[in-house]
């Protein structure tokens, strides 16, 4: 197809229905009504005990570019048939609202607002798709990366996924998500350039095949590179690959920095132990064994249990595609809207599944940290205006199984949201990626080990304050009464 329009903005990165709803609101004069939306997911991915929030920097990029371009308007005029008056409105549309959000790297849980948008209805509605698109992917990958890094421990985790990622943006932002959640490096050079992530890598089988000879390939690589990791499995790992790597390392001596060998197929436990033994016997005890080949947290744990001697793990496909769970399932729900009289009214979405009933109202999220132990007792969602810190003894109860409760005293109530936008202006200084990575580590540090284990972790409490819970019940009752009235008519 002939390219009629340039790809010069993010505004059309939305679902058509958002623009259609916006048109309805605008024609009906509802677009300026103050509204509050919350972005959250319900269920933690991968059966993990927590998720790692990521995506905020990209959201800021998106909001900073919140304006339809001339080409966007031309497209909407020519291909989508919107009227000139509405197009005029779109042309002048800017984001004027408020956004509060979790910080990137924050450990987060199901059913708590990760982002709150407090904006004129039209604006808040229009940004839904992009916000979900960004958070759903980046938080999913950051969480997967955190799981993998948890089992890798103090060894090195290298991100190798670009070639298998769902296209370029996914590779780039997925790599960033992996790094902020604890990965040590990436093979994606653009991610190195744009985000300052350390880049690392070895070489491919194609190089060995291009020289048609393993020894020649390793030697030529050594002639051109100081740091050398030789890929030893192209022909026969133990009979040819490792011996050739050792031979070249000996011949080049101090002229190269022989970092080690990479295994990419076969029985990685057995081969790593044998490679380790051969390297040690050859006088290279510091040479590392790198492994790759469809690795994830499960194979890594299993390889470790077999006594594998692997120092560095290269992880691609299963990380960057979130192989075992393709989507986080985060949603964006309206919780409050201004009425004709200018008064904010809560709004609720009812479901037969109690966990899917939304929690209405303007809310805040606090992490309740036990001051003595330094660990989190749970997250506590309040209505705006409540101050949990002023309570001596905080009652925390399960929002659906309310008989499950506990009292917490001597705690810090740490508010988890921070202001990102106020009156459409960016009021948040984006932290560096290194700061985010450090923050992610600290945030995870507040969790008991029981929530951190990768298999069958304990369920972390995300509770509602009594007022918030009462408000939800009142809203449910009001909707019920309304439905019954309609049913009786
Ligand atoms: N000792 C081991 N225990 C458990 N899993 C292993 C072990 N060694 C390797 N694996 C994993 O088993 C899978 C083997 O993949 P696959 O069957 O494609 O074979 P391969 O050895 O990689 O061969 P090739 O790349 O030549 O096709 C990979 O996911 C790898 O991480
Ligand atoms: O297995 P992953 O976790 O996805 O890690 C990335 C994989 O990409 C490369 O294989 P590929 O076959 O693409 O190229 P190669 O010929 O260099 O091995 C590399 O050797 C890894 O096996
Ligand atoms: O550098 C490597 O070894 C590498 C990079 C990307 C994918 N697989 C391996």
CB 140 within 8 A of CB 298: no
List of residues 6+ apart from 416 with CB closer than 8 A: 102, 103, 106, 108, 112, 365, 366, 367, 379
CA 122/CA 19 separation, integer angstroms: 9
Question: How do residues 232-266 score in pLDDT, each as one tens digit?
Answer: 999 999 999 999 999 999 999 999 999 999 999 99
The residue whose CA has the least distance to atom 29 of ligand 1 is: 294
Kindly list the protein residues whose Cβ atom lies closer than 6 A to any atom of ligand 2: 160, 163-164, 204-206, 264, 292-295, 314-318
Domain residues of the chain, as ranges?
Answer: 143-321
CA of 203 to the centre of ligand 3 (A): 7
CA of 244 to the centre of ligand 1 (A): 23
Cβ-count burial 294-307 (b if 16+ within 10 Å, e if not) = ebbbebbeebeeee
Name the strands in the sheet holding 363-370, side by side, starting at the edge strand that comes first in the sequence. 411-415, 363-370, 376-383, 462-464
Question: How do residues 117-152 score in pLDDT, each as one tens digit?
Answer: 999 999 999 999 999 999 999 999 999 999 999 999
Residue 1 has pLDDT above 80, yes or no: no
Residue 489 has pLDDT above 90, yes or no: no
Specify the long-range contacts of residues 291-297, CB closer than 8 Å, at least 24 apart: 291/262, 291/263, 291/264, 292/160, 292/262, 292/263, 292/264, 292/316, 293/263, 293/264, 293/265, 293/268, 294/318, 296/148, 296/323, 296/324, 297/147, 297/148, 297/150, 297/151, 297/454
CA of 68 to the centre of ligand 2 (A): 41
pTM: 0.97
Counting ligands in written order, which one lies closest to the CA of residue 207? Answer: 2
Residue 487 has pLDDT above 90, yes or no: no
Query: What pLDDT, on a 0 to 100 scale, did the predictor assign at position 356?
Result: 87
CA of 433 to the centre of ligand 3 (A): 23
- Mean pLDDT over 440-463 rounds to 97
Q: Which CATH superfamily is domain 143-321 in?
A: Aldolase class I (3.20.20.70)
Question: How do residues 106-118 score in pLDDT, each as one tens digit?
Answer: 999 999 999 999 9
Query: What pLDDT, on a 0 to 100 scale, did the predictor assign at position 399?
Result: 92
- Mean pLDDT over 28-33 rounds to 97
The residue whose CB lies within 8 Å of the most ligand 2 atoms, and thus the one to mutate among 235, 293, 315, 323, is 293
- Mean pLDDT over 332-337 rounds to 96
For residue 318, the ligand 2 atom closest to its alpha carbon is 3
Under the banding of pLDDT at 50, 70 and 90, the label for residue 87 is: very high
Under the banding of pLDDT at 50, 70 and 90, the label for residue 342 is: very high
């Amino acid at each position: 197809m002939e390219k009629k329009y340039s790809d010069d903005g993010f505004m059309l990165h939305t679902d058509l229905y958002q623009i259609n709803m916006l048109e309805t609101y605008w024609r009906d004069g509802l677009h300026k009504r103050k509204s509050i939306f919350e972005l959250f997911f319900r269920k933690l991915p991968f059966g993990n005990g927590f998720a790692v929030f990521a995506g905020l920097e990209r959201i800021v990029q998106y909001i900073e570019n919140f304006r339809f371009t001339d080409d966007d308007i031309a497209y909407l005029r020519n291909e989508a048939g919107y009227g000139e008056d509405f197009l005029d409105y779109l042309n002048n549309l800017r984001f004027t609202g408020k956004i509060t959000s979790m910080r990137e790297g924050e450990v987060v849980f199901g059913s708590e607002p990760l982002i709150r948008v407090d904006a004129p209805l039209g604006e808040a509605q229009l940004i839904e798709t992009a916000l979900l698109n960004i958070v759903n992917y980046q938080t999913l990958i950051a969480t997967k990366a955190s799981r993998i890094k948890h089992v890798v421990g103090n060894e090195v985790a290298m991100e190798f996924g670009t070639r298998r990622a769902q296209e370029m943006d996914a590779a780039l932002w997925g790599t960033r998500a992996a790094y902020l959640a604890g990965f040590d490096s990436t093979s994606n050079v653009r991610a190195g350039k744009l985000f300052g992530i350390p880049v690392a890598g070895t070489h491919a089988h194609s190089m060995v095949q291009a020289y048609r000879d393993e020894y020649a390939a390793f030697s030529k690589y050594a002639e051109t590179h100081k740091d050398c990791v030789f890929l030893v499995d192209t022909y026969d790992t133990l009979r040819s690959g490792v011996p050739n790597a050792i031979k070249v390392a000996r011949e080049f001596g101090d002229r190269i920095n022989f970092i080690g060998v990479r295994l990419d197929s076969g029985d990685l436990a057995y081969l790593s132990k044998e490679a380790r033994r051969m390297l040690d016997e050859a006088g290279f005890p510091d040479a590392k064994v790198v492994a790759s080949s469809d690795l994830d947290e499960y194979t890594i744990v299993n390889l470790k249990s077999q006594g594998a001697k692997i120092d560095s793990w290269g992880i691609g496909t299963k990380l960057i595609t979130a192989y075992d769970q393709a989507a986080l399932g985060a949603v964006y729900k309206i919780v409050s809207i201004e009425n004709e009289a200018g008064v904010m009214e809560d709004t609720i979405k009812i479901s037969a599944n109690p966990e899917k009933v939304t929690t209405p109202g303007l809310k805040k999220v606090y992490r309740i940290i036990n001051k003595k132990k330094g660990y989190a007792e749970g997250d506590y969602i309040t209505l705006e205006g409540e101050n949990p810190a002023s309570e001596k003894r905080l009652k925390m109860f399960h929002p659906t199984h309310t008989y499950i409760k506990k009292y917490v005293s001597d705690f810090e109530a740490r508010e988890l949201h921070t202001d990102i936008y106020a009156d459409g202006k960016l009021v948040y200084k984006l932290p560096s990626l290194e700061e985010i990575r450090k923050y992610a580590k600290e945030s995870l540090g507040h969790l008991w080990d029981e929530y951190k284990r990768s298999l069958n972790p304990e369920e972390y409490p995300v509770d509602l304050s009594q007022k918030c819970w009462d408000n939800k019940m009142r809203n449910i009752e009001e909707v019920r009464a309304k439905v019954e009235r309609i049913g009786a008519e």
